[in-house]
Amino acid sequence: MKNSQDKLYNLINLEEISGGSDDFIREMIKLFVTQAKSTIDGLNNAFDQKDLNEIKNLAHQIKPSIDNLRIDVLSPVIREVERLAEDGGAWEKLSPMIMETNTVLEAVLSQLDEELKNRTA
């Protein structure tokens, strides 16, 4: 398992708005996990269907969550996915960006799973 310096996210925003409530942080993490899984599936399906509008909507919906969890490596990528989809799609650029988004989200989900285990202990 990677050490904390390798985390792709930072809970400082959640800790600030939670007032130190572990229950709140756990709930927000669970919500993000659900949303991220749905976004990964949705992006894959929308890309397969060449549905730019859906790609744009999914990118737009998860953007605040990515910012809240300070997934800084993904912040510019998801904005570019949204912009490209809105502009009518440069598929050759969108494809690797969607793959990167999904790869990072999968890694974050794995790390958050560990975070939840540590917070319930």
Q: What is the pLDDT of residue 11?
A: 94
The token pair at 49 is 């269907």
CATH match for 7-120 among 3.30.390.30, 1.20.81.30, 1.20.120.160, 3.50.50.60: 1.20.120.160
Is the pTM higher than 0.75? yes
Cβ-proximal residues to 77 (8 Å cutoff; 6+ apart), any chain: 97, 100, 101, 104
Q: What is the pLDDT of residue 121?
A: 61
Q: What is the pLDDT of residue 12?
A: 93
pLDDT digits (tens, 9 = 90+) for 69-96: 999 999 999 999 999 999 986 889 999 9
Q: What is the pLDDT of residue 56?
A: 97
In DSSP notation, 47-75 reads: HHTT-HHHHHHHHHHHHHHHHHTT-TTTH
pLDDT digits (tens, 9 = 90+) for 50-69: 999 999 999 999 999 999 99
